Amino acid sequence: MKKLLFTKMHGAGNDFIVSDNRFGLFPSHDANWIRTICHRNHGIGSEGLLLLETDKELDFSMRFFNPDGSEAAMCGNGARCIALFARSQGIAGGEMTFRSAAGPIRATVLSNSVRIQLPPPHSIECGVPLSSIPLEVDCINTGVLHAVAFVEDLQAFPLERIGPLVRFHARFAPEGINFNAVQRRDDGTLDIRTHERGVEAETPACGTGITAAALLAARRFGLPTPITVRCAHGDILQVSFKPDDAGGFAAVELAGPAVSVFEGSIPYPGEEAPA
């Protein structure tokens, strides 16, 4: 029975299992086992798994798995964590570029935070009606698709009830969507709560959701860059961007804290990964 090394990390409370898979030893084909190790009672516990793999052109490649075992194209806080991991392991320097399924990501590891430049966002739609709820949302793809509703009282908003309704709404079938409730404060900062696809619950923070909220707030309210966002965990992140001529956004960056919590190993009871 082989043992697999991992590092437990979190970005603004969004926690991950991170593993160096440059030699292909991690059983990424085994969705059941990924679900087990991400489970908070039966495994290590996390909101996702990050695998660092080799890349022929860039510093490395990132693969991200949701705690339900499904693979997703992108995770903003995960990208910040894996950048810190790569720097601490000597795999990359303080400035790096790595591949995600959503596109290349540039990252800078700073003294107390990690800043990433995300792939260009797309698929922006404002004022999308969801009559069966009823609710109106703005949508954008910041690596994965997000819906954002701007609300008056974030803490009173029934995210545990509305979140799943938006997540599985027929308008976004078959893949579904991540849902964010956002409150704009008088000083232009944002507070956010996120119901995350794949986690299927409220998450302490979501990097692509925070980015989506900031960009859509800029679009809807004319907020200037950078925009400060406070996540449910309490940490502060900043989103900066450049508006483009087509009404979209370029040079989108997300900056915030990333932390290594502990290192360990876990036995894998299944068969070896296929060659």
What residues are labeled active site? 75, 206
174 token code pair: 């078959």
Closest to 9 in 3D by CA, of 99, 121, 157, 114: 114
Element (H, E) at 240: strand 236-243
Quote the DSSP letter at residue 58.
Answer: S
Task: Give how far Cα 23 sits from Cα of 61, 86, 159, 262, Å.
Answer: 13, 15, 41, 22
Residues ≥6 apart with Cβ < 8 Å to 74: 64, 100, 101, 102, 118, 119, 142, 143, 144, 208
Positive or negative, the CA dihedral 142, 144, 149, 150 is negative
- Torsions phi, psi of 121, nearest 5? -70, 160
Task: Work out whether the CA dihedral 191, 197, 201, 206 comes out positive or negative.
Answer: negative
